[in-house]
Structure formats: structure tokens, C-alpha cells
């Protein structure tokens, strides 16, 4: 197997470069989310038709993510990420061009597929940089994703407020974000496979090592999706909060998650992945309990904030653990990503179905139970803890680099 030596300054630059790519990825998502009402009106869709079309995003991502490892092996990590992040940023234009349900479904499939492949590629590089630095950075990287999403959302809100055509908004955003993404990729690590290394399969089921890790991520993403999509409805319908206060609950949840992810690496470096997730599970379960028993909007808002704080670092640590759990990091990360994307897809509809049959309070009892699962099964993330000696400040040796 070949060996590559990286200077410490090169690894530090790679860390900031990957962080910038994460922010660009998040900015695309934030930009799109703010213009969904425009897209619905442009394509003349009912609420049900819009939900059906949006489901193709997760479907496309789930189908494409296993390809990311093969692409990185074939072209090298830097070239692969440059191409995949550009495909993702440019795909932002497609939904605004769709005139009807069928074309929007196709656009959302491509949009989701490019999102999933870029997601796997940038997380795999993040895991490798984290391994070289021998300290947790994945939470901070996902914090940069959340920051990018908030910035994209703010710009999209301004564009919507000004009555801008989403086709023009998305075209300008896509060009700007593509340039930023390509520029950032200049400094990411260029990992190349060893000459005798077998390429990963183009399509494969998640490896066994990723299943339990993915199950923990499933619990976290389920709670995240339920809170993002239903917190405002919960406050409005169950606690009779005003529309502004209900919306503030969702914004507060997003801000809590972003801040917790940015500062979460300090907790992981001090206490380790397992103990951090276990404590987070306790906080998330406590938050869910507050939501369930809340008799006043302020109590429920505090509960949602606690849930955001508790689950914020779980998905980044799941990716970190997956990248260390087997011989093919990209394949394991793709497996975990597929499971978590599936959770994000089914959570909103399942919460709605349970609420329809019983009540929203019962739905969030389910969320609270899944949050308890984070505390119980946190031990499967032990692969994300680092127990090797620290890398020297002069250089970092990388045996058998893999994309």
C-alpha cells in the first residue's frame, strides 16, 4: 500500500476548505427551502402533489449515494468533490424551471441525487481530515452546513420579500455557489487509491458495520424532522400560540442545532463520542418530555430547543464512526446517509399519521422514545472515538489513503 505525507499546514487548509464546501452545500438547501411556495404556484400543484414531488428528493439521494465512493475511487477525492459539488449547486436551477408535477418530480430526483453524492464525498473527506488531526471536527463541519443553510435561507427570504422570480434567484445563487465550491475544492486533500486497491461497487447495500450506526442516526434525524416540520403546528394547534410565536419555535430549534454543532467538537474532544451522544440523548428525551407535558407555549419552545441541543452532534458523529468502522469509509458513510435520509423522509408523514389517528401529543411521545434510544445505543459510536497518538505538528502520515 502507498503512503502519503501531508504537512500540518496542508491538513489545516484542507479542514477549512472542507468546512467551506459544507457551508456551500447547506446554502443550496436553505436557498431552495425559501422558494418552495413559488415553485408550487409556478407548477400549479396542490399540497398533496407538492409533497409527492418533494419525496423524490430523498428517493434520488438514496439511489445515488452508493455511487459516490466509486466516483471518488475513479477520479480521486478532489476532482470527484469538485464535480459533485458543482453538480449539486447547479441542480438548484432545475426545480424553478419545472412547469408541472411530472417535470418537478424529475427535477427533484436529480436535485436529490446530486445532493446525496456530494454529501457522501464531503463527509468522507471530513472524516479523513479528522483522522489526520486526531481531534473531532465533524460536528463543526455540520455546524458550517447549518450556517450555510441559514445564510441561504436569509438570502432566499429577502428575494421572496422583493418578489424576485425564483428562476433568476436560483440562477444567480447557483453561479455564485458553484464558484465558491470549486474555489474551496482547490485545497481539499487529493486522496488517491493504492494501485492494488479494488474499486468499490457502483451500487451496494449498506455494509453491516453501518447498520447499527445508521440506526442511531435514524433516531436523531427522526426527531429533527419531526421538530422542524411539526413544532410550529404543535404550538399553534395544541397550545393555541400565535402564528409568529409558532414560527419562532422552528427558527429557535434551527439556531440551537447550528450553535450546538459549531461548539460540539469541544465536548467530543473532551468526553468522547459515546458519552457526548449519551448525554445528548438524555437532553433530547427531556426536551421531548417537556413538549409532551407542556401547558404553555414557552415550555414547549424550551423542550424543542433542548431536543435541538441534544441531537445536534449525533449525525456528524455517526458519519465519523462509519468512516472508521470498516475498510471502505465512503461505502459505510453512504450506508449511514441512506438510512438517515430515509428517516428524514418518513418522519414528517409518520408523525402526521399518528396524530391523525390519536393526537400530536402521542406523536411526540414516539419522538421522545426514539430520543431515549440515543442514550441507550450510543455505544455503537465507539468507533468515532480516537485512541491513537496525536499527529506530529510537522507532518501527518497517511497509510493507505482511501477516498
Question: What is the per-residue pLDDT across 275-299, written as a single tens digit (0 to 9) for each?
Answer: 999 999 999 999 999 999 999 999 9
Grid coordinates 458519519 are at which residue?
A: 319
Contact call for residues 193 and 330 (beta carbons, < 8 A): no
CA distances (Å), origin 60, targets 91, 114, 236, 245: 12, 8, 33, 35
Q: Where are the alpha helices (DSSP H) in 272-328?
A: 273-293, 297-311, 314-323
By C-alpha distance, which of 270, 276, 347 is closest to 310? Answer: 276
Listed range (48-52, 90-94, 193-197, 395-399) with the worst mean pLDDT = 395-399
Name the residue with cell 473527506.
Answer: 125
Cα separations in angstroms, 245 against 36, 160, 239, 296: 22, 21, 11, 12
- Give residue 393's pLDDT: 41
pLDDT level of residue 87 (50, 70, 90 thresholds):
very high
pLDDT of residue 100: 96
Does 150 have pLDDT greater than 90? no
Q: For 360-386, give the secondary structure using H, E and C.
A: HHHHHHHHHHHHHHHHHCHHHHHHHCC
Mean pLDDT of 140-148: 91
Residue-averaged pLDDT of the chain: 85
The overall pTM is greater than 0.85: no
365-389 pLDDT, tens digit per residue, is 999 999 999 999 999 888 656 544 3
pLDDT computed for residue 111 by the predictor: 94
pLDDT at residue number 146: 87
Specify whether the CB–CB gap between 318 and 381 falls below 8 A: yes
5, containing H or E segment: strand 3-7
Q: What is the DSSP letter of 391?
A: P
CB 200 within 8 A of CB 121: no
Residue with cell 466509486: 70
What are 313's three cell numbers?
Answer: 452532534
Q: Which of 72, 194, 70, 87 is nearest to 122 (CA)?
A: 72
Start-to-end Cα distance in the chain: 14
Confidence (pLDDT) at 401: 39
Q: What is the per-residue pLDDT across 28-64, written as a single tens digit (0 to 9) for each?
A: 988 888 888 899 899 998 877 887 888 788 889 888 8
Instruction: Find the mean pLDDT for residues 377-402.
Output: 55
Phi-psi label, residue 236: left if phi above 0, alpha if psi -120 to 50, beta otherwise: alpha
* Distance from C-alpha of 205 to C-alpha of 331, rounded to nearest angstrom: 9
Q: Which residues pair with 395 in a beta bridge?
A: 7
pLDDT, tens digit, for every residue of 258-281? 889 999 999 999 999 999 999 999
The neighbouring-strand residues paired with 398 are 4
pLDDT value of residue 384:
55
Amino acid at each position: 500500500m502507498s503512503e502519503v505525507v501531508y504537512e500540518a499546514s496542508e491538513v489545516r487548509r484542507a479542514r477549512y476548505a472542507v468546512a467551506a464546501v459544507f457551508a456551500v452545500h447547506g446554502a443550496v438547501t436553505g436557498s431552495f427551502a425559501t422558494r418552495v411556495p413559488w415553485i408550487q404556484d409556478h407548477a400549479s400543484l396542490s399540497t398533496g402533489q407538492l409533497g409527492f414531488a418533494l419525496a423524490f428528493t430523498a428517493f434520488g439521494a438514496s439511489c445515488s449515494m452508493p455511487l459516490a465512493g466509486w466516483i471518488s475511487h475513479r477520479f480521486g477525492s478532489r476532482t470527484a468533490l469538485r464535480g459533485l459539488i458543482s453538480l449539486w449547486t447547479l441542480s438548484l436551477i432545475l426545480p424553478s424551471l419545472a412547469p408541472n408535477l411530472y417535470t418537478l418530480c424529475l427535477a427533484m430526483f436529480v436535485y436529490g441525487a446530486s445532493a446525496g453524492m456530494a454529501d457522501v464525498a464531503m463527509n468522507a473527506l471530513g472524516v479523513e481530515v479528522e483522522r489526520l488531526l486526531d481531534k473531532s471536527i465533524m460536528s463543526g463541519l455540520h455546524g458550517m452546513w447549518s450556517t450555510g443553510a441559514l445564510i441561504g435561507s436569509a438570502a432566499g427570504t429577502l428575494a421572496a420579500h422583493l418578489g424576485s422570480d425564483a428562476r433568476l434567484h436560483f440562477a444567480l445563487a447557483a453561479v455564485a455557489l458553484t464558484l465558491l465550491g470549486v474555489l474551496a475544492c482547490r485545497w481539499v486533500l487529493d486522496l488517491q487509491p493504492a494501485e492494488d486497491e479494488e474499486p468499490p461497487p457502483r451500487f451496494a447495500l449498506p455494509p453491516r458495520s453501518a447498520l447499527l450506526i445508521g440506526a442511531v442516526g435514524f433516531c436523531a434525524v427522526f426527531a429533527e424532522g419531526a421538530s422542524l416540520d411539526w413544532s410550529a403546528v404543535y404550538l399553534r394547534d395544541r397550545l393555541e400560540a400565535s402564528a409568529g410565536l409558532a414560527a419562532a419555535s422552528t427558527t429557535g430549534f434551527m439556531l440551537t442545532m447550528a450553535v450546538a454543532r459549531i461548539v460540539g467538537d469541544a465536548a467530543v474532544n473532551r468526553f468522547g463520542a459515546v458519552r457526548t451522544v449519551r448525554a445528548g440523548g438524555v437532553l433530547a428525551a427531556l426536551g421531548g418530555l417537556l413538549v409532551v407535558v407542556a401547558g404553555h407555549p414557552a415550555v414547549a419552545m424550551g423542550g424543542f430547543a433542548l431536543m435541538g441541543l441534544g441531537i445536534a452532534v449525533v449525525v456528524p458523529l455517526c458519519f465519523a464512526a462509519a468512516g472508521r468502522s470498516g475498510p471502505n469509509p465512503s461505502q459505510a458513510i453512504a450506508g449511514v446517509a441512506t438510512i438517515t435520509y430515509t428517516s428524514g423522509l418518513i418522519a414528517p408523514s409518520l408523525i402526521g399519521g399518528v396524530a391523525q389517528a390519536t393526537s400530536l401529543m402521542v406523536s411526540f411521545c414516539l419522538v421522545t422514545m426514539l430520543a431515549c434510544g440515543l442514550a441507550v445505543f450510543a455505544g455503537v459510536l465507539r468507533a468515532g472515538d480516537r485512541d491513537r497518538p496525536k499527529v506530529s505538528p510537522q507532518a501527518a502520515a497517511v497509510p493507505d489513503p482511501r477516498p
